[in-house]
Structure 1
Amino acid sequence: MRIAFVSAETAHHRDTETNRRFRTVVDLLASRGHDVHVFCTRFWPGERATIERDGITYHGVSVGLEARRSFLLRVPFVVARTRPDVVHASAQPSGQVLAANLGASFARAPFVVEWYGDDGVADDRWTRLATGRPDRIVTPSELVGTRVRERGADGRIVDAVPNPIDFERIEAVPPGDRVEVIYARRLDEGANLESLLLALAELRGHDWSATVVGDGPERAAYERLAGDLRIDDRVAFVGDLSLEERIAAYRGAHVFAQTAERCAFPTELLRALACGCVGIVEYHANSSAHELVEGWERGFRTTSEEELTDAIRAAGDLEHRDLEEAFADYDRDAIASRYLEQYRALRDERGML
């Protein structure tokens, strides 16, 4: 299947959650042997209009992100010329959706939009116009799906597809040192690590240790808070770790705590659950993390430091595991299959198969 992906900005331009998600989808389908083309602004040196990387053809529709108008004007025609079976665009900026939709119309191909929403979903005229164009809108969670429907999208075309994990890789990494509680996220203003530290401080009389994975502008403040709470001898701030190191840490941990205030999809929580951790999520209106633990027998949803403390205590009664087969459904192959099923269903609806 020939798939045309449209995104002026990619992970090669800027490392954001939205761009990483889009690149993941591109990589998933390229790894399955499909003919994948990415239409973007040029990020490579020289005058070449296209480059090949890892089995993916990148088309430099315009030169530099500042040439956005040129990009939007040219996209419909360059996309249509490749005669794609499906056109799949990133949702931001909204004008990109309208341009990609026109290209899909010229190519007579189904049109899919990837709406990640890590910065929220804007409530403006252009966003509402964009929600009415796709044949299918894919979001990472029900939270983002709800936001998109609130902006005018037909609920029947919105589908939540989670970020994938590499389950075989998890199985291959040996468990690390045993620790009771682990937290992993960039330590910025949205990390809300203080909720976990305050909850742990209430358990001073118990035997526990905790690991904080991640770095960021608020790390020093959180380290000071741990000292003020007199738990700094039990909380290890280990900074950024590689994926293998994080997996080993999760497989050695008993509880993974998710307290961040904003989260389109909690990929590290998902990895930790697959590594056998008990999941404890502090509910926030702008976080989808609670969706992963709702109905899960080894998951807790809390709304306060007191409930968080109680959940950590209750989690101690559950057995330690270092792998959870139930989360194999989130493996890369399974998620790739979900995208391909959607593409085929849309083509079937148009009588193309």
Structure 2
Amino acid sequence: MRVAFVSFETVHHRDSETNRRLQTVAELLREQGHEIHLFCARFWEGDVDTFERDEITYHGVVPNLEAKTSFLARLPRAILSFSPDVVHTGAFPPEQVISASVGATLARAPVFLEWHGEGGIEDTWWNRRAARWADRIVAPSHLVATWIRELGVGSRVVDVVPDPIDVDRIRSVSPDDSVDVIYARQLDADANLESLFLGLAELRDRDWQATVIGDGPERPVYERLASDLRIDDRVTFAGTVPREERIAAYRGAHVFAQTAEHCVFPTEMLWALASGCIGIVEYHAESSAHELVEGWDRGFRTTSEEELADAILDAGDLERRDFDETFTEYDRDRIRDRYLTAYRALQDSSGFL
């Protein structure tokens, strides 16, 4: 299958959640032998218009990110010249969805809109237009799907497809040293690590060890808080560590705590749950993390530090695991199949076959 991805800004320009999500989908399809071309602003040196990396062909529709207007104007013809089977566009900037849709119409291909929802989705004229110009929209969680439907599109147009994990990779990594509680996220203003620390402080008279994976501008604040709460001797700040080490840490841990205030999809938590961790989620209106633990017998949803502390105690009665079959449905192969199934359904319904 020939798939045209559209993203004015790519992960090679800026490593954001939105750009990573679209790049991941492109790589999933490329791994199975599909022909992937990504139309974007140029991020490579030189004057050549195309650039190949890891078997993905990038088309530099414009020379840089300062040329957005030219990108929107040139995109339809660029898509037509590739003659794709499907046009898969990101939602930022929303104007590119309309431009990609024009190119898709010329190429007689359906439009698939990937809407990650990082930073929320504002009810703007351009966002409403973007939502209505796509044949199908995919969101990473029901939370984001709700935001999209609030733009005025029907529920039948929006699918939920979570971020993928690599189950074979988890199985291949040996568990690290045992730890009771683990937390992993960028330590920024939304991390809300204080909720976990206040909950752990309630258990100061118990025997536990915790690890915090991740770095960021708020790390010094959280290190001071751990000291002020007199739990710093039991909390290890591991900093930024590569994926293999994170998997090993998750497989050795008993509980993964998710307390962030904003989260469109809890990718790190999913890796941890598949690695055998019990999940404890502090509920927040702008976080979808609770969706992973609802109806699951090894998951807890809390609304306060006291409830979080109680959940950690209750989790102590559950067995330790280093893998959980429940989450194999999120494996890369299955997520890729969901995209391909959606593509083919779009082609069948559009009459562009």
**Normalising by structure 1, what TM-score?**
0.99
- 1:38-72 deviation per Cα after TM superposition (whole angstroms, max 9, x unaligned): 00000011111101111111000001000000000
Structure 2 distance, partners of 1:44, 1:303, is 47
The 3-state SS of whatever aligns with 2:200 is helix
Kindly indicate whether the alpha-carbon contact (under 8 Å) linking 1:276 and 1:321 is maintained by their aligned counterparts in 2: yes
- 1:90-122 deviation per Cα after TM superposition (whole angstroms, max 9, x unaligned): 001110111001111111111000000111101
> Which residue is equivalent to 1:129?
129
Structure 2 distance, partners of 1:188, 1:35, is 38
Structure 1 distance, partners of 2:320, 2:133, is 48
Deviation at 1:352, TM superposition (A): 4.4
5+ long unaligned stretches in structure 2: none
In structure 2, relative to structure 1, the CA distance for the partners of 1:345 and 1:297 (3 Å cut) is: same
The 3-state SS of whatever aligns with 1:3 is strand
> Which residue is equivalent to 1:9?
9
The 3-state SS of whatever aligns with 1:132 is helix
The 3-state SS of whatever aligns with 2:12 is coil
Kindly indicate whether the alpha-carbon contact (under 8 Å) linking 1:2 and 1:86 is maintained by their aligned counterparts in 2: yes
Q: Which amino acid aligns with 1:350?
A: S
**Segments ≥4 residues shifted beyond 6 Å:** none
- 1:186-228 deviation per Cα after TM superposition (whole angstroms, max 9, x unaligned): 1111000000000000001111100000111111111111111
1:118-267 equivalences under 5 Å are: 118-267=118-267
1:32 matched to 2:32? The reply is yes
1:324 matched to 2:327? The reply is no
Kindly indicate whether the alpha-carbon contact (under 8 Å) linking 1:175 and 1:249 is maintained by their aligned counterparts in 2: yes
1:270 matched to 2:287? The reply is no
The 3-state SS of whatever aligns with 2:133 is coil
> Which residue is equivalent to 2:87?
87
> Which residue is equivalent to 1:100?
100
Q: Which amino acid aligns with 2:40?
A: C
- 1:225-250 deviation per Cα after TM superposition (whole angstroms, max 9, x unaligned): 11111111111111111100000000
1:342 matched to 2:303? The reply is no
- 1:260-318 deviation per Cα after TM superposition (whole angstroms, max 9, x unaligned): 00001100000000000000000001110000000111000111111101101100000
Structure 2 distance, partners of 1:133, 1:156, is 14
The 3-state SS of whatever aligns with 1:148 is helix
Structure 1 distance, partners of 2:79, 2:351, is 21
> Which residue is equivalent to 2:65?
65
- 1:144-174 deviation per Cα after TM superposition (whole angstroms, max 9, x unaligned): 0000000112210100100000110000000
5+ long unaligned stretches in structure 1: none
Structure 1 distance, partners of 2:152, 2:20, is 26
The 3-state SS of whatever aligns with 2:163 is coil
Percent identity between the two aligned chains: 64
Structure 1 distance, partners of 2:289, 2:88, is 26
Structure 1 distance, partners of 2:151, 2:26, is 26
The 3-state SS of whatever aligns with 2:96 is helix
Q: Which amino acid aligns with 2:132?
A: G
> Which residue is equivalent to 1:117?
117
Kindly indicate whether the alpha-carbon contact (under 8 Å) linking 2:174 and 2:251 is maintained by their aligned counterparts in 1: yes
The 3-state SS of whatever aligns with 1:183 is strand
Kindly indicate whether the alpha-carbon contact (under 8 Å) linking 1:132 and 1:154 is maintained by their aligned counterparts in 2: no
Deviation at 1:350, TM superposition (A): 2.6
Q: Which amino acid aligns with 2:62?
A: S
Deviation at 1:351, TM superposition (A): 3.5
* Corresponding pairs, count: 353
